[in-house]
Chains A and B, each alone.
Chain A
Amino acid sequence: MIDHLPALQVVIPLIAAPLSALFRPGRAVWGLAMAASGLSLLIAILLLRQVLEQGVISYPMGNWPAPWGIEYRVDAANAFMLLIVSMIGTVVIAFARTVVEQRIRLPEHKQPWFYTAYLLCLTGLLGMIVTGDAFNVFVFLEISSLSSYVLISLGRDRRALTAAYQYLIMGTIGATFILIGIGLLYVMTGTLNMMDLAARIPAVSGTRTIRAAFAFLTVGVSLKLALFPLHLWLPNAYAYAPSPVTAFLAATATKVAIYVLLRFFFTIFGAEFSFNVMELDRILLPLALIGIFSASVVAIFQTNVKRMLAYSSVAQIGYMILGVSLVSVTGLTSTLSHLFNHALMKGTLFMALGCISFRIGAASLDRMAGVGRVMPWTMGAFVIGGLSLIGAPLTAGFVSKWYLILGALERGWWPVAALVLLTSLLAVIYLWRVVEVAYFKPAPERPVREAPLALLIPTWTLALANLYFGMETSLNAGVARRAAETLLGVAP
């Protein structure tokens, strides 16, 4: 059983997805989804422990050895990612039940379909991470993308439909680019296995075909991870999707795309080719910086808080890409650590916002006046998530910021370090607008109650995780560092 963990990681949610479509609406189908994602989390924890103790796990799917069959390959980097995605997946599904029952645009008898789409999306994300086969990445990418279009379109606001359509177009272009890239690689090397690709590419790396493949993959994945200026689909999609969907996608989907980017750049093409020959850091660095700065500034002027956080996500993705463009162990540690920490903080923020819009109907700034007094627990979680986003010490966000500044100083990039700090102050500004309105404006006239426990418990679970991982950093700094060393190929 324990040998099959890599396969079970994907198979369990994959089987649970069609099964949940067979259920009647109610708690049973939710319980099934909960059990499936909980099992995924358990498997991810076991896998991570196994990898940290014994090293890389290679699993031939269906017992077909690598060149013919699909290999699942788990090392420190993707074990870490599996943990992030399955953890958020579990917490958000716990949050989703109440919202699905009352707040999404589905007739009651179709509610189980929400869980089907959700579990399929989870399957796709986990599959992209766990697989060691380039084409398999594309397959799972499509699974997760198609289901996420469905999930986004379930928002109550009718604009969710156009947002989903916009994302569909952009996402499909991205996926097509990725497919073209993988196809070109196959033409040149005759293999799709990542390890084999890594071994064979150096022999042909001077060819224009390989360079074209590299370009297609870079642009395609950048679309999926919403790198500035390819981020235009993201604010609408996050703003109009149902709150659990936003929390889930914001915390996982773009993260997995960043992981895919890292996998292609560092494992398949190799850091030498990507950053010395193709000089990718020269493109990534300015895009990351512009993205961080402009998205933070735009966030300040948003009146819809969900949209504000969406722009904040674009900025945070910039931080992660900035870490990549440092091309050092410290820089990559900050990226991987921020993948984890940002999942925690944005998960908390979007869920807290979900609690608020569950009670007051919308998440616009003017309607949130006085919410802090009538919904103290919800706003408490929001403040914790906000502090983590700013990077206050004792919260998870501090850890990644520390490594990012350290990495910039190691390279001697003073202006970059200064800009990172400056933009965290912009985060203070856009978050403090919310805090001020929520705590110091007079409370609303209409009676508003605290959010139900079913929403508060998952929200606070993540909020406390922000604090816990701000103080116990062996996972989000220690393991992140090992994962960074794995990706860069320097032995620990």
Chain B
Amino acid sequence: MSSEAVLLLALFIPLASTVFIAANDTRPDWREGATLLASLLLLGTVLSLLPEVLAGGRPSVDLFELIPGLPLRLTVEPLGMMFAGVAALLWPLNSLYSIGYMRGNKEQHQTRFYVCFAVAIASAIGVAFSGNLLTLFVFYEALTLSTYPLVTHKGTPEAMRAGRLYLGILLGTSIGLLLLAIVWTWRIAGVLDFTPGGILAGHIEGPAIAVLLALFVFGIGKAALMPFHHWLPAAMVAPTPVSALLHAVAVVKAGVFAVMKVIVYVFGIDFLSATSASQWLMWVAALTILLASCVAMTQDNLKARLAYSTISQLGYVVLGAALATSLGVIGGSMQIAMHAMGKITLFFCAGAIYTATHKTEISQMDGLGRVMPFTFGAFLIGSLSIIGLPPLGGSWSKWYLLAGTADAGQWAMMAVLLVSSLLNVAYLLPIAARGFFAPLTHETGEVSVRETPLACIVPLCLTASGCVLLFFSADALYTLLAPIATR
């Protein structure tokens, strides 16, 4: 099969699976079987594109013209390959976990849940493989709309409020700022294709560059750059599998991925570093990193703490992009994969704790590590990876980012990264420490469940091992990503 057909198949599989899922509304086993099968098929399909991309191939396919002269174009390039790979790899694990979680908690509307989930994955794949800005915009909006029913899943007034905030910020920024930036780019450059080296050089100069960049990075609200980050903590009312895959991986990563793509392929890092138009962005990213970490420390609700941690960690990616150096871009891109693996582990653990004990507050989790050793062990590994300690994947992205700051001579940024690592230690490690070492208090009460359902345990152990595995396979990731920065 030609790689163009494979590319279309990657988009088609999750969409087609929705038909089967919806048709088996009354047969949960079939419905969830269809989800698992589709996720495995998607993984195989996406991985089969890898050899060609590694060999330097850039398979591309045009579907139809959205605006005369502007086709809906799918193209595979290394950055997108990595993002699609991460999403496709984690979907099967997350599906398995969802089965355990949704059944364990007897959630309502499970069919709607699985259908929207599959559409969201298809949109994320579309974002990953988009070949021009307009295509990116299309799938970006599809991702927002398909995840809205997942955020409001519970249907409670609180969930509805969160859904309004979610839709308001994400649609507001994307229509109000991102679309304007895209039309502006089209007006001055006459093309919207993602091109190595960028398309804007020579078409725009002076302060306008920084303004356009601001429209892009704030327009991509999914990157959760402050002050447009409120939607992410609000979205935590969703069931935990949604928080795990979508609000730690697919949705937020689609945001920072889009920022990275815009900086690498629309502006071009040489153009940005020559004009210093991204200096201000570095500071905004640094501020986001530090402030979000500080807020995370004050949160007692586990998922809220993880959400603020995500905001802070997303700042790393934006910072890497804003440095506009090769190492910064590679470090930022690697952070997409490394943080995904670490954070999904943490969310899986949070959901496992909730399923087993119905506890959501960290202060109630004293001593739980002794009854749930696998869950808390995985949580510890995930935390260490987020902090960036070897031998876990997260250490590499931090390493390249630090090297990037040194390369750019931005010593202040290096200090920010180091301080932030300390803050990570301060808000993540106490959770695992309390679980293992604090005595079981009265508040914890009689814990009758020893561990969560197996369908929850297996995925979180796998992603925790994934964090270790990523440490040893960073070389492969570097080989994949190197071409995007060597221009």
Q: Which of A412-428 contact B (CB under 8 A)?
A: 417-418, 421-422, 424-425, 428
Given known contacts A393-B66, A398-B66, A474-B68, A425 and B183 CB-to-CB distance under 8 angstroms: no
Q: 1/0 contact trace for A255-284 toward B, CB 8 Å?
A: 000000000000000000000000000000
A406 and B183 form a contact (CB under 8 A): yes
Instruction: Tell which of B137, B167, B176 touches A393, judged by Cβ atoms closer than 8 Å.
Output: B137
Q: Which of B64-79 contact A (CB under 8 A)?
A: 64-68, 72
CB distance from B118 to the nearest CB of A (A): 18
Bound complex: CA A409 to CA B208 (Å): 14
A406 and B175 form a contact (CB under 8 A): no
Chain A contacts for B184, CB-based, 8 A? 409
Chain B contacts for A432, CB-based, 8 A? 164, 167
B138 and A394 form a contact (CB under 8 A): yes
CB distance from A66 to the nearest CB of B (A): 35
B183 and A428 form a contact (CB under 8 A): no
Chain A contacts for B20, CB-based, 8 A? none
Does B54 count as interface, using CB distance less than 8 angstroms? Answer: no
Instruction: Tell which of A394, A421, A481 touches B179, judged by Cβ atoms closer than 8 Å.
Output: A421
Does B171 count as interface, using CB distance less than 8 angstroms? Answer: yes
Chain A contacts for B68, CB-based, 8 A? 473-474, 477-478, 481
Does A410 count as interface, using CB distance less than 8 angstroms? Answer: yes
Instruction: Tell which of B64, B175, B180 touches A425, judged by Cβ atoms closer than 8 Å.
Output: B175
Bound complex: CA A398 to CA B314 (Å): 30
Does A130 count as interface, using CB distance less than 8 angstroms? Answer: no
A425 and B138 form a contact (CB under 8 A): no
Bound complex: CA A481 to CA B61 (Å): 27
B179 and A473 form a contact (CB under 8 A): no
**Closest partner residue, chain B, to A481 (CB atom):** B68
Bound complex: CA A387 to CA B168 (Å): 14
Chain A contacts for B168, CB-based, 8 A? 428
CB distance from A387 to the nearest CB of B (A): 8
Q: 1/0 contact trace for B179-196 toward A, CB 8 Å?
A: 110011011000000000
Does B172 count as interface, using CB distance less than 8 angstroms? Answer: yes
CB distance from B195 to the nearest CB of A (A): 21
B67 and A473 form a contact (CB under 8 A): yes
Chain B contacts for A458, CB-based, 8 A? none
B180 and A405 form a contact (CB under 8 A): yes
Chain B contacts for A387, CB-based, 8 A? 145
A410 and B187 form a contact (CB under 8 A): yes
Bound complex: CA A428 to CA B145 (Å): 12
Q: 1/0 contact trace for A464-478 toward B, CB 8 Å?
A: 000000111110011
Instruction: Tell which of A392, A421, A436 touches B176, judged by Cβ atoms closer than 8 Å.
Output: A421
**Closest partner residue, chain B, to A477 (CB atom):** B68
Chain B contacts for A403, CB-based, 8 A? 67
Bound complex: CA A481 to CA B64 (Å): 19
Q: 1/0 contact trace for A449-492 toward B, CB 8 Å?
A: 00000000000000000000011111001100100000000000
Does A41 count as interface, using CB distance less than 8 angstroms? Answer: no
Bound complex: CA A406 to CA B184 (Å): 7
Does A174 count as interface, using CB distance less than 8 angstroms? Answer: no
Bound complex: CA A418 to CA B167 (Å): 19
Given known contacts A402-B183, A409-B183, A425-B175, A393 and B65 CB-to-CB distance under 8 angstroms: no
Instruction: Tell which of A392, A399, A425 touches B67, judged by Cβ atoms closer than 8 Å.
Output: A399
Bound complex: CA A402 to CA B65 (Å): 13
Bound complex: CA A402 to CA B183 (Å): 7
Bound complex: CA A79 to CA B64 (Å): 25
B141 and A425 form a contact (CB under 8 A): no
Does B338 count as interface, using CB distance less than 8 angstroms? Answer: no
Does B155 count as interface, using CB distance less than 8 angstroms? Answer: yes
A440 and B175 form a contact (CB under 8 A): no
**Closest partner residue, chain B, to A330 (CB atom):** B187
Does A244 count as interface, using CB distance less than 8 angstroms? Answer: no
Instruction: Tell which of A393, A424, A470, A473 touches B141, judged by Cβ atoms closer than 8 Å.
Output: A393
Bound complex: CA A440 to CA B160 (Å): 8
Chain A contacts for B137, CB-based, 8 A? 393
B172 and A425 form a contact (CB under 8 A): yes
- A selection of 5 A-B contacts at a CB cut-off of 8 Å is A421-B176, A428-B172, A440-B160, A471-B72, A478-B68
The 5 closest A-B pairs by CB, nearest first: A393-B138, A405-B183, A421-B176, A409-B187, A471-B64
Which B residues form the contact surface with A (CB < 8 A)? Answer: 64-68, 72, 134, 137-138, 141-142, 145, 152, 155, 160, 164, 167-168, 171-172, 175-176, 179-180, 183-184, 186-187
Seed contacts A392-B145, A393-B137, A406-B183; 16 additional CB < 8 Å A-B pairs? A390-B175, A392-B141, A393-B138, A402-B67, A402-B183, A405-B179, A406-B187, A409-B183, A421-B180, A425-B171, A425-B175, A440-B155, A440-B160, A473-B66, A473-B67, A478-B68
